[in-house]
Chains A and B, each alone.
Chain A
């Protein structure tokens, strides 16, 4: 089922949380909404779920206008950043909640719950309480709970935001594979550009309540339409009016026609990658990204002056 958002506006008092949002998420796709905190990305997700009412505009799920429908009737699964676990219920009862609300037959409920717990790999923990689970386990339980009633769309609000780095990376990979199995239209919100680009086919970049750009990770990186997207998606150096990616700052063995001079302030060895901090002849400070091999070839050292070529680069009006 597709998610469509038409001309949605939402204000909280004086603050315009969403202005003029239009968006389409293709059926069966896995999309990300990426933006800094306060960009309106969570509000957008909550408007789609029916947890917030837009001031104007429409929300369609599977072609049906659900703008005035309460969350109960939208057929969405929603996963909260802080799990929203029902602490007084076991894992099994949490997952069974939506089915019991719908008064499904007991054997059907138990069978479905077992199936879901296997899917999220919590089989052995069905009789535990959420308080006895780790953060990652709790979030998987929340996901199973959201999937129980077979929602038309799955919405995840910063689902891995409260977890530590290693568990995050694991769950990302796992969500990706889960989506390949379940194939429900999925939209998740994150402030982590790497997370967005690793998981999704389509990324919506938001800033200050508006959509900046929608595209594949590659499009966003290579053809950013605005200064904001350029600097938020991937790293960037600013040289005068120009924006240059670190890998486009090339260090040369000798100077040539287009090259300038740079003074090496720092050299950071990050395994395969080496980063070099430079001060250019007109005072701009930039990072250059290169490989270990190349750095060894050039024999880079702090205090050296090296020829630098700024390739590519973009100017935004």
Chain B
């Protein structure tokens, strides 16, 4: 292995794998584990009451509530449009389909700050189409929809491509109409992929920062999302408050990941 067994040795050194494992653990600890633990420790250092009080601050709570609420809407929109786009890309054919397929990943490749600037250029005060959503909650929704667009599409697409068409033909031959075929045959087969894409969009929406900072104006109690609130608290040296809200974001993300892991485990066993 790259880090473990030194090159050119004839015998597998029993220490090789252990050394590589040790380096992996060290890297992960210094980079991920220790810092994340520090956030939770900071948030909880004055006890659960202080943690709760920091979260229950009006501005913090409003930011958290807005973040979760918009993320839920984002998931709902993504489930519908993501599945629809995946369906059109797999089952439909039209000139330029490959190009559209390639463009789906653009939000993943585009830096978030550029995404925000981009949306502001079109849907901001100087936008050429006369629609101005800047500094409204609609702007939060728009930014989050932009950055989460690929998740559901990309998780549904391969499943839809692999889906056995003869199942649908069998259902049709048994007298099922198109809507019944979709509801009884296609949808149940896509559900795990949709759920996994939805969970990833939710986690992403929950923590998104770069794309919202320019277009939402970060108005406290109106358009300020949780990550922007955390950023503000860091800037004004309220590290405990920042850590408290961060901890609650971590907790929500953890729950989402756990649920996803459980669903995935069940699917793999099935």
Contacts and interface: CB of A to CB of B under 8 A. Distances in A.
Please tell me whether chains A and B touch each other in their complex, using a CB distance cut-off of 8 A: yes
Contacts of A73: 10
4 contacts: A70-B11, A70-B12, A72-B10, A73-B10
Contacts of B11: 70
A73 B11 CA distance: 9
Interface pairs A-B: 4 shortest CB-CB: A70-B12, A70-B11, A72-B10, A73-B10
Interface of A: 70, 72-73
Contacts of A72: 10
A70 B14 CA distance: 12
Chain B interface extent, by class: under 10
A70 B10 CA distance: 9
Nearest to A73: B10
Contacts of A70: 11-12
A70 B16 CA distance: 15
Interface in B1-60: 10-12
B1 to A, nearest CB: 15
Contacts of B10: 72-73
A31 to B, nearest CB: 29
A289 to B, nearest CB: 42
A93 B49 CA distance: 68
Nearest to B10: A72
A149 to B, nearest CB: 15
Interface string B112-129: 000000000000000000
A88 B269 CA distance: 32
A69 to B, nearest CB: 9
A64 B12 CA distance: 21
Nearest to A71: B12
B214 to A, nearest CB: 46
A73 B10 CA distance: 9
A7 to B, nearest CB: 25
Contacts of B12: 70
B13 to A, nearest CB: 11
Nearest to B12: A70
A72 B11 CA distance: 8
B15 to A, nearest CB: 15
A49 to B, nearest CB: 15
A309 B10 CA distance: 66
